[in-house]
A and B are shown apart, each in its own frame.
Chain A
C-alpha cells in the first residue's frame, strides 16, 4: 500500500467514527471533553456550530453517531452521545450575546418557505452576513415537524421555542400564518434567492375497505399535529396504530396520554425489521404498549358509521440463511376491536403549491430534481433542503442541508459557481504535556453506559407535556464522559524516528499495530497482529522504516486512543495529536456580495 496521506482531512476524520457518522459532522469528542471540564456553555456552542439545535437534538436526534461509536464495536455499548448533548444544552448559560448579530444589510433578500429546521439553519448561517431573511410559515408557530410531529413529552415546547428564538430573535422576518400558495407568485416578488424547506407533510394513507366510512381513522402525522396544536385532546380507549416506525411510537405514546387504555401497535414484519429506533421502541414498551408482529391489515370494520375494529391477515415468515425474510404465508384472519385507528406507515414530500411549469424541474416521481451537493434545482437561485429535498430523513440531515444550501445561496448571490465548494481542513495539535502526560484523559474507563432516568410511570400520563426523560444527573454525566475514547486524539507516526523496538506493538491493548513487509491491502490485512476484517475501517500505513524497510501498519478499527504506544515509544515516533476538522460554513466565507 502507499503510505497514508495524512494531510487529507478525510483520513483522520474517518477515525472519529461519531463525527464521520453525523450528517452535520459535530465534533463529538471535542464537546464531550468540554462537558468533562464543566464547560457546558462551550460544549453547547461547539454543538450549535454544526447542528444549530443542541437542545432539541439532545433529546430527539436519530443519533447516527451512536451506532457508529467505536465503543459499540469494543464492548457493545456506544457512548450516550445524545444524552450528553442534552446535558450541555440543559446546563449552558445564556449564549445570546455570544452569537454573531445580524450583519448590516447588504441589500439581498432571501425567502425561506416553511419555518422548520432546514429554513432556520439557512437563516442562522446567512443572518450574520447581512442578508434580509423572510420565512413564510403556514402555522401560527415556527418549528415545522419538530413542533407538529414530536410530542411535547419528548421535546418540551420551551426548549424548541428558545432555540428558534436564538435565530429568529436576531432579526428574521418570520411571517406566521402565511402559507405560500403559489411558487410563481413567490418568484415574482423579486427575492434574490428562495429556499424551500417544507418538509414531508403528506402522511401515507391505507386504502382498504372501510377506510372512508369513519372519522375515527387518522393519518399519524396529521393526528400528531392536531394534538400538538391542541385541536385534539382525547381518543378512544382501544387504539390501533398501523406501522412500527418512530411516528408510530410517538402516536401510541401520545394516545396513552389522551385517554387510550389499550393501545396496540401492529407490525407487518417480525422484530428486527422494525423501522423504529431501538430506544423509542423500548420507551414505548416500558409504557405497556402492545406490539403485535406479523399482522397485515385487511379491512376497517365500520358498522352504522361506528368503527368497530380491523381485520388482519396473520402471517408467517421463514428466515433464510442470509437472514432474509421469505414471502409471507397467511395463517388466518383475525379481528381486533378498536375505537380509533392511527396510520403511521410513512410520509412523503408534497408540493401542491409549486406550479409544474415554474421551471423547478420535477423528476418522474413528481419530486423536485435536487442537486445533492448544492441543493439547487433547474431554476437558478432556488434551493431545497430538509425532507422536501430528498424525502423524509431526520432533523440532523435537515440541518446539514441548511448549511449546504446557505453556502450555495451565498455563492449564488456573489455570482460565484455554486458547484465549487469551500474545502474542509484539518488541524493537528500535539497533546503531549510531559513524558507520560497528555492533555486528555487517556485512561480507559470500563464503566457501562449510563441509563437515562425516566419520570415514574404513575406520574407521566397525567399531562402530555410532562417530559419523560429526566436527563443525566451530575454523577451519570461524570461517568459517561469518561467512556468516550477521544477518537479525535490521533496517533501520528513519524517513520524516520522509528528504531523498530516493537514497544508500541507490544503494549497496544487491542493489538492494532504491526510492523511487517508492505503489500496490497487485502494481503496486509491477513498479516496483522489481530483480525482486521472490518474493511469499513481504514488502515494507516507508514512509509518504509529506516532500519529494515518494513512498514508500520495501524488498523484504525479498534484503537482506544489510550496513547500507550506513544508513551512506550523511546524516540517520539508516535505522538498523540488532537485533530480538529475545519468545516466551512457560509458565515466563514469571503464571498463578495455587492
Chain B
C-alpha cells in the first residue's frame, strides 16, 4: 500500500455527469491491495459505470464478505452505504437489506473463495430468489489473502506459483448461475475496461439478480506462466460472444463500425442494452445453447466472455413475494406496525 493519500487535486476540466459529479466523486479510500491487483481495476470500472449512469453514490448499498475482493467496496463509492459481512454470507445480508429497502441499488462484491467454497449455498439461493442486485464475482483462482492456495474456480492443471498443478475440476460460476436460473449472466476481464464498463452498466440496469464473473488476476500469487488466470493467459484465451453496450433511456444509439449482428433489449427501467453478437453462433437468450457453447469452449481452454445469458422478463424477489413497493423506512409507522390488536386478530386465525 502507498504511504500517501491520493491527492485531492485533479484535472480542472474533468467531465461531469448529468448530476454534476466527476469521476473522482465516485472514489473510496486508497486501496491497500497489492499493486497491480485486478480487483483495483474492477473497482475502477465500477466507479466509471456508476459515474456514467449518474447514480448518486448514497443511493447505492455495497455488501461483501471476506477476502481480497471483499475488501474492495471500501475503495469505491465512499458516499454509498456498506456492510462487510462474515465469510460467504454476503448474499444473506444483501437479501435482507433488499427486502427492507428496495429503493437502493445493491452491489455485492465477492470472490471465488467467498462465493464458490464457503458461500456456495448462499450464492445459489440468492440467485434462486432473484434478489435485485449486481453480484460481482472477482475471480482469480486462488486464495490471495492466505498466500495463494488454489480455489474452487482454479482450472484443472493450472500451475501454482511454486509449480504444483491443480488436481480438481473447477466450478464455473457463470455456468452454475445459468443452470440455477440466473436472469443476467456475464463474464469479463479486469484488464479490459472497454468491455467491462458497459457490461456493468447493463447489469446494474437489469431488474433481478445479475452475476458478473470477472477474471481478475492475482498479481502476486497467480500471474505466472502456467497459470490459467494470469493477465497474459486471459488475454490470449478470451473468446468474446456478445458485446453488451448500455444505452440510457434518453441517449441516442450510436451505430458502431465493428462487425456483428446488432439487436436491442429493453430493460425494466426503460433503458436499453444493445447486444452485438461477436460470434454469430451464440444466442444469449437461449439457455440450453448458451450452456453447451460455454462447455464446448471451456473444454478447449477458452475463456468465454461477454453477456452470456439474459432473460428479458424477469420477476425479482419483491414481485415474487408481492411485498410492499416502498422501502420499509418510508412506510408509515402505524402501517408498518399495526399494533397488538392486529397481531391478536392474525393469531386468532390459527387457533
Establish whether residues A503 and B3, one from each chain, have CB atoms under 8 Å apart when the complex forms.
no
Establish whether residues B219 and A509, one from each chain, have CB atoms under 8 Å apart when the complex forms.
no
Contacts of A505 in B (CB 8 A): 44
Contacts of A442 in B (CB 8 A): 4
CB < 8 Å: which of B6, B13, B36, B193 contacts A503?
Answer: B36
Instruction: Report B226-242 CB contacts with A as 1/0, cut-off 8 Å.
Output: 00000110010000000
- Residues 528-570 of A at the B interface (beta carbon under 8 Å): 530-531, 533, 547-548, 558, 560, 562, 564, 567-570
The answer to whether B348 has its CB under 8 Å from any CB of chain A is no
Measured CB to CB, the closest approach of chain A to B21, in angstroms, equals: 15
The answer to whether A75 has its CB under 8 Å from any CB of chain B is yes
The answer to whether A507 has its CB under 8 Å from any CB of chain B is yes
Contacts of B44 in A (CB 8 A): 502, 505-506
Question: CA–CA, A506 to B35, complex, Å?
Answer: 11
Establish whether residues A511 and B14, one from each chain, have CB atoms under 8 Å apart when the complex forms.
yes
Establish whether residues B191 and A502, one from each chain, have CB atoms under 8 Å apart when the complex forms.
yes
Establish whether residues B11 and A499, one from each chain, have CB atoms under 8 Å apart when the complex forms.
no
Establish whether residues B40 and A503, one from each chain, have CB atoms under 8 Å apart when the complex forms.
yes
Establish whether residues B9 and A501, one from each chain, have CB atoms under 8 Å apart when the complex forms.
no
Contacts of A531 in B (CB 8 A): 11, 13-15
Establish whether residues B41 and A503, one from each chain, have CB atoms under 8 Å apart when the complex forms.
yes
Contacts of B1 in A (CB 8 A): 436
Question: CA–CA, A547 to B232, complex, Å?
Answer: 6
Establish whether residues A564 and B13, one from each chain, have CB atoms under 8 Å apart when the complex forms.
no
The answer to whether A177 has its CB under 8 Å from any CB of chain B is no
Question: CA–CA, A467 to B9, complex, Å?
Answer: 37
Question: CA–CA, A505 to B41, complex, Å?
Answer: 9
- Report the nearest A residue to B223, measured CB to CB: A499
- Report the nearest B residue to A75, measured CB to CB: B9
Chain B: interface residue total (CB-CB under 8 A):
37
The answer to whether B2 has its CB under 8 Å from any CB of chain A is yes
Question: CA–CA, A436 to B12, complex, Å?
Answer: 27
* A73, A509, A567 interface centre (most CB from chain B within 10 Å): A509
Contacts of A533 in B (CB 8 A): 13
CB < 8 Å: which of A73, A547, A569 contacts B36?
Answer: A569
The answer to whether A475 has its CB under 8 Å from any CB of chain B is no
Establish whether residues B4 and A509, one from each chain, have CB atoms under 8 Å apart when the complex forms.
no
Measured CB to CB, the closest approach of chain B to A218, in angstroms, equals: 46
Question: CA–CA, A234 to B74, complex, Å?
Answer: 71
User: Taking A74-B12, A510-B9, A530-B13 as contacts, is the C-beta distance between A571 and B36 under 8 angstroms?
Assistant: yes
Query: Interface majority SS on A: helix, strand, loop or mixed?
Result: loop
Establish whether residues A501 and B2, one from each chain, have CB atoms under 8 Å apart when the complex forms.
no
The answer to whether A222 has its CB under 8 Å from any CB of chain B is no
Contacts of A547 in B (CB 8 A): 231-232, 235
Contacts of B190 in A (CB 8 A): 501-502
Establish whether residues A530 and B14, one from each chain, have CB atoms under 8 Å apart when the complex forms.
yes
Establish whether residues B7 and A444, one from each chain, have CB atoms under 8 Å apart when the complex forms.
yes
Question: CA–CA, A512 to B13, complex, Å?
Answer: 12
Contacts of A523 in B (CB 8 A): none
- Report the nearest B residue to A499, measured CB to CB: B231
Question: CA–CA, A443 to B8, complex, Å?
Answer: 11
Question: CA–CA, A506 to B15, complex, Å?
Answer: 16
Establish whether residues A446 and B8, one from each chain, have CB atoms under 8 Å apart when the complex forms.
yes
Question: CA–CA, A437 to B3, complex, Å?
Answer: 8
Instruction: Report B194-226 CB contacts with A as 1/0, cut-off 8 Å.
Output: 000000000000000000000001011001000
Establish whether residues A500 and B191, one from each chain, have CB atoms under 8 Å apart when the complex forms.
yes
The answer to whether B104 has its CB under 8 Å from any CB of chain A is no
Question: CA–CA, A438 to B307, complex, Å?
Answer: 44
- Report the nearest B residue to A437, measured CB to CB: B3
- Residues 460-509 of A at the B interface (beta carbon under 8 Å): 499-503, 505-507, 509
Establish whether residues B4 and A443, one from each chain, have CB atoms under 8 Å apart when the complex forms.
yes
Question: CA–CA, A558 to B193, complex, Å?
Answer: 23
The answer to whether B37 has its CB under 8 Å from any CB of chain A is yes
Establish whether residues B10 and A511, one from each chain, have CB atoms under 8 Å apart when the complex forms.
yes
CB < 8 Å: which of A501, A512, A568 contacts B231?
Answer: A501
CB < 8 Å: which of B2, B3, B24, B34 contacts A570?
Answer: B34
User: Taking A436-B1, A548-B235, A570-B36 as contacts, is the C-beta distance between A564 and B219 under 8 angstroms?
Assistant: no
CB < 8 Å: which of A560, A567, A568 contacts B9?
Answer: A560
CB < 8 Å: which of B12, B36, B40 contacts A499?
Answer: B36
Measured CB to CB, the closest approach of chain B to A523, in angstroms, equals: 15
Establish whether residues A74 and B40, one from each chain, have CB atoms under 8 Å apart when the complex forms.
no
- Residues 437-463 of A at the B interface (beta carbon under 8 Å): 437, 442-444, 446
Question: CA–CA, A552 to B223, complex, Å?
Answer: 21
Question: CA–CA, A390 to B244, complex, Å?
Answer: 64
Establish whether residues B36 and A568, one from each chain, have CB atoms under 8 Å apart when the complex forms.
yes
Establish whether residues B35 and A503, one from each chain, have CB atoms under 8 Å apart when the complex forms.
yes
Question: CA–CA, A526 to B106, complex, Å?
Answer: 34
The answer to whether B38 has its CB under 8 Å from any CB of chain A is yes
Contacts of A562 in B (CB 8 A): 4, 7
Contacts of A567 in B (CB 8 A): 2, 35
- Report the nearest A residue to B24, measured CB to CB: A509
Contacts of B193 in A (CB 8 A): 502
- Report the nearest A residue to B23, measured CB to CB: A511
Establish whether residues B38 and A501, one from each chain, have CB atoms under 8 Å apart when the complex forms.
yes
Establish whether residues A558 and B11, one from each chain, have CB atoms under 8 Å apart when the complex forms.
yes
Question: CA–CA, A507 to B232, complex, Å?
Answer: 22
Contacts of A571 in B (CB 8 A): 36
User: Taking A501-B217, A503-B41 as contacts, is the C-beta distance between A568 and B2 under 8 angstroms?
Assistant: yes
Contacts of A530 in B (CB 8 A): 11, 13-15
Instruction: Report A140-164 CB contacts with B as 1/0, cut-off 8 Å.
Output: 0000000000000000000000000
Question: CA–CA, A287 to B191, complex, Å?
Answer: 61
Question: CA–CA, A531 to B37, complex, Å?
Answer: 27
Contacts of B235 in A (CB 8 A): 500, 547-548
Instruction: Report A363-394 CB contacts with B as 1/0, cut-off 8 Å.
Output: 00000000000000000000000000000000
Establish whether residues A510 and B10, one from each chain, have CB atoms under 8 Å apart when the complex forms.
yes
Question: CA–CA, A446 to B7, complex, Å?
Answer: 8
- Residues 169-189 of A at the B interface (beta carbon under 8 Å): none
In the assembled complex, 11 residue pairs joining A and B whose CB atoms fall closer than 8 Å, in A order, are A74-B12, A436-B3, A501-B41, A502-B44, A506-B44, A509-B24, A511-B23, A531-B15, A547-B235, A564-B2, A568-B35
- Residues on B lying within 8 angstroms of A by beta carbon are 1-15, 23-24, 31, 34-38, 40-41, 43-44, 190-191, 193, 217, 219-220, 223, 231-232, 235
What are the 9 closest A-B residue pairs judged by CB atoms, nearest first?
A570-B36, A444-B7, A506-B44, A443-B4, A501-B36, A530-B11, A502-B41, A570-B219, A568-B35
